[in-house]
C-alpha cells in the first residue's frame, strides 16, 4: 500500500511541476494569437480569463501523463490547451450572477464584473466551441483517435458530466444533499474533466486499454480529492465568516465535503482518494513520478 | 436566370416541406429520451425549448439536401438534430436578460422566464455539448467524415461564426453599424449555421467538392435572406411600435436590414440572395426541388 502518511509535508508546492505552467501559458498565448478578424471586444474577455493565471492543473496532468507514457509532451499540447479552454468556459459561466455570483476569480474581478454579463456568457460559449476547434484543427492524430477523445470530453462536460454536476450544485445549495449525491455531484462537476485530462492524453499516446483503465481510476480519484481539498482550503482561508479569496461571506449554503462531513472526515476521505490514485498507477511499469507528485500535491497543498 | 419574379405568391407556406417537421420532432423526442440519470430539473428546460415547436428550418435543410443528393434522409438525421440542438442553445442564450432580454419565444415564456436564468444558461451549455455528442455517438460515418463535419460546425458556431455575430449584434445595437459590417454580422450570426445544415449533409452524402461548393453558395444566400425576411416580418408584425410576437416594444436599436436599408431595399436584397441561391443549385444535375421550394418559401413566407 502506497501510504500517503509517509509523504513529507514540508513545502508541498515543490511537488508540483510548475515548470510546465509557463510552457502551457506560452502555448495558450500562441493559440489565442491565431484568432484573426474576431471582434476585439470578444477576444478581450477571452484573453483576460484564459491568460489570468492559475495552476493549469488539467493541461499539466495531460502533459505529465504523456511524459509518463514515454510520449512527447508537446504532442498532446492542443488537447491539453483545449481542456484548459473548457475549464475557463466553465469558470466564466459558473461565476455569473445567476449561478455562483462570484465577483472575484484568482484575485481579480471575474469576467462579467470586468466586461459585463453578455460578454461573459458569449466568451464562455466561444471558449467551449474553440476547445473543440483546437482538437479538430491542431491535434495531430488519426481521425479515429480524434473522435475517441472528443467523445471522452463530451461525456465529461455535457449532460453526463460537468453541466449536470453544476446544475445539482446550484439546485441543492439551499436544501441539503445526501452523502451519495454529494459525491456524485463533485464527481460530475470536477472529477470528470480532471479524469479526461489524463485519459485523453493516454488515448493520444496509444496506451493499452488496461493502462487507460488504471489512469482513469487515478484521474477520478485525484479529481474528487481536488474538489475536497479546494473546499477545505476555502473553509480554512475564511476569516470570521469572510471568504478572503473571493471577498464575500463564506457560503453556508454550498454542499461541500467539509460542510456535509466536517473538516476531519473530509481530510480522511481526500487522503483515501489520493491513496486509491497512487495505488492505481503503482502497478504500471512506467515512470509516473510526475503524476504521483501531483496527487500528493493535491492532498498537501496550502493554496 | 432563375428569376424569383415568376414565383406564385399564393400560399407560400405550401412550398415548405412541412411533413419533414413531424419526422424531425419525433426523432428529437427519441434522442431526448435516451438521456438517463440526468437531473430532471435540467432535462425539463431542455425538453421545453427543444420540443417547443418551430419550423425546424435547419434540420429540414439537412434532410432535403440528402434527398436531393439521392441519399437516405434518415442517414443524416443525427447531424440534422444536432444542428437543431445548437440552434436552440443559441436561442436560449440569446434570450437571456443580459443579451436580447426576450421574455417570449414562439409565443411562450422564454427558457429563463420559465425556469430561471441559471437553468437557462446551463440548459444552453448542455445542448451545445450534446449536439457534438449526437454526431459523435449516433452519426454513422467514417471518423474522417465525422471530423470534417465537426470542423464545419465549429467554424459556423465559434469565434469565426455565430458567437461573434451575436457579439457584434449586441455590442453595436446602440451605436449603429456600417452596411458591410451589418452583412457580415448576419452572415456570422445566422447564415453560417444555415449554410452548415446544407453542407454537412452534403459531406455526409459524399457529394463531390464542386457540388458542395455550389450548395454552400445556396446555404449562405438563403441564410442571409432568412435573417432579412425575419426582420422584415418582425417590422411588419409590430403594431403601434409593439412587437406582437415577443410582446414588447419593437427595438429601434437593433441593426437589421430593414432598419438600416429600409423595407423596400431590404426586400430587393433578400430577393437577390434567393436568386443567387437558386442559380447556384440550378446547374447541378440532381433533383433539388425541396431546396428550391425552401428558398422560395424563405422569400415569400408570411410567418
pLDDT of residue A235: 83
CB B274 within 8 A of CB B233: no
Please report which confidence band the pLDDT of residue A158 belongs to, taking 50, 70 and 90 as the band edges. very high
pLDDT of residue B1: 45
pLDDT of residue A1: 45
Asked, for residue B14, whether it belongs to a domain, the answer is: no
Average pLDDT over residues A9-32: 93
Widest pairwise Cα distance in chain B: 55
CB distance from A155 to chain B under 8 Å?
A: yes
Residues of chain B with pLDDT under 50: 1, 249
Rounded CA separation A218/A69 (Å): 14
State which residues form the domain around B177: 19-296
Rounded CA separation A198/A175 (Å): 34
Please report which confidence band the pLDDT of residue A232 belongs to, taking 50, 70 and 90 as the band edges. very high
CB distance from B261 to chain A under 8 Å?
A: no
Nearest residue in B to A95, CA atom = B118
In a 3-state reduction of DSSP, which class is residue A109? strand
pLDDT of residue A3: 62
CB distance from A84 to chain B under 8 Å?
A: no
Rounded CA separation B232/B256 (Å): 9
Best probe of the A interface among B115, B118, B134, B145, by most A CBs < 10 A, is B118
Rounded CA separation A32/B160 (Å): 13
pLDDT digits (tens, 9 = 90+) for A73-119: 999 999 999 999 999 999 999 999 999 999 999 999 999 999 999 99
Percent of chain A clearing pLDDT 90 (strictly above): 82
Asked, for residue A28, whether it belongs to a domain, the answer is: yes
CB distance from B235 to chain A under 8 Å?
A: no
> A39–B168: do the CB atoms touch at under 8 Å?
yes
Asked, for residue A6, whether it belongs to a domain, the answer is: no
Asked, for residue B225, whether it belongs to a domain, the answer is: yes
Mean pLDDT, chain A, as a whole number?
Answer: 92
- B256 sits in which H/E element: none
pLDDT of residue A245: 53
The better pLDDT of the pair A8, B291 is held by B291
pLDDT digits (tens, 9 = 90+) for A236-252: 776 555 555 555 545 55
Residue A300 in this model has a pLDDT that exceeds 90: yes
Rounded CA separation B295/B299 (Å): 7
Q: A84: distance to nearest CA of chain B, Å?
A: 16
Asked, for residue A144, whether it belongs to a domain, the answer is: yes
Asked, for residue A4, whether it belongs to a domain, the answer is: no
Asked, for residue B5, whether it belongs to a domain, the answer is: no
Look up the ipTM and state it.
0.94
Say how many domains are in chain A: 1
Q: Give me the CATH number covering residue A167.
A: 1.10.600.10
Asked, for residue B303, whether it belongs to a domain, the answer is: no
Name the one residue in this structure whose C-alpha cell is 446544475.
A167
CB A262 within 8 A of CB A228: no
Average pLDDT over residues A158-178: 92
Phi then psi for B114, rounded to 5 degrees? Answer: -85, -40
Rounded CA separation B284/B272 (Å): 20
In sequence order, which residues have a C-beta less than 8 Å from that of residue B65 and are 6 or more positions away?
Answer: B76, B197, B198, B201, B202, B205, B215, B291
Amino acid at each position: 500500500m502506497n501510504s500517503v502518511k509517509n509523504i513529507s509535508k514540508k513545502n508541498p508546492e515543490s511537488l508540483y511541476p510548475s515548470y510546465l505552467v509557463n510552457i502551457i501559458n506560452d502555448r495558450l498565448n500562441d493559440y489565442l494569437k491565431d484568432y484573426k478578424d474576431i471582434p476585439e471586444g470578444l477576444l478581450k474577455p477571452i484573453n483576460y480569463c484564459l491568460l489570468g493565471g492559475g495552476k493549469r492543473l488539467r493541461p499539466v496532468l495531460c502533459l505529465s501523463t504523456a511524459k509518463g507514457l514515454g510520449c512527447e509532451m508537446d504532442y498532446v499540447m492542443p488537447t491539453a490547451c483545449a481542456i484548459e479552454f473548457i475549464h475557463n468556459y466553465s469558470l466564466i459561466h459558473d461565476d455569473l450572477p445567476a449561478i455562483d455570483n462570484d465577483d472575484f476569480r484568482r484575485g481579480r474581478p471575474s469576467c462579467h464584473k470586468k466586461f459585463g454579463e453578455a460578454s461573459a456568457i458569449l466568451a464562455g460559449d466561444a471558449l467551449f466551441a474553440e476547445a473543440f476547434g483546437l482538437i479538430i484543427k491542431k491535434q495531430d492524430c488519426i481521425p479515429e483517435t480524434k473522435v475517441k477523445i472528443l467523445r471522452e470530453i463530451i461525456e465529461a462536460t455535457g449532460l453526463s458530466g460537468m453541466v449536470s454536476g453544476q446544475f445539482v450544485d446550484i439546485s441543492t445549495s439551499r436544501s441539503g444533499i445526501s452523502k451519495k449525491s454529494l459525491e456524485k455531484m463533485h464527481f460530475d462537476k470536477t472529477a470528470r474533466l480532471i479524469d479526461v485530462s489524463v485519459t485523453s492524453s493516454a488515448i493520444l499516446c496509444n496506451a493499452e486499454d488496461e493502462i487507460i483503465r488504471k489512469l482513469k481510476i487515478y484521474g477520478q480519484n485525484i479529481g474528487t480529492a481536488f474538489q475536497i481539498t479546494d473546499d477545505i482550503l476555502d473553509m480554512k482561508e475564511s476569516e470570521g465568516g469572510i471568504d478572503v479569496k473571493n471577498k464575500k461571506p463564506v457560503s453556508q449554503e454550498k454542499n461541500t465535503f467539509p460542510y456535509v462531513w466536517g473538516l476531519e472526515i473530509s481530510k480522511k476521505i481526500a487522503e483515501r482518494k489520493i491513496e486509491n490514485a497512487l495505488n492505481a498507477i503503482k502497478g504500471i511499469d512506467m515512470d509516473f513520478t510526475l503524476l504521483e507528485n501531483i496527487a500528493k500535491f493535491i492532498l498537501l497543498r496550502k493554496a
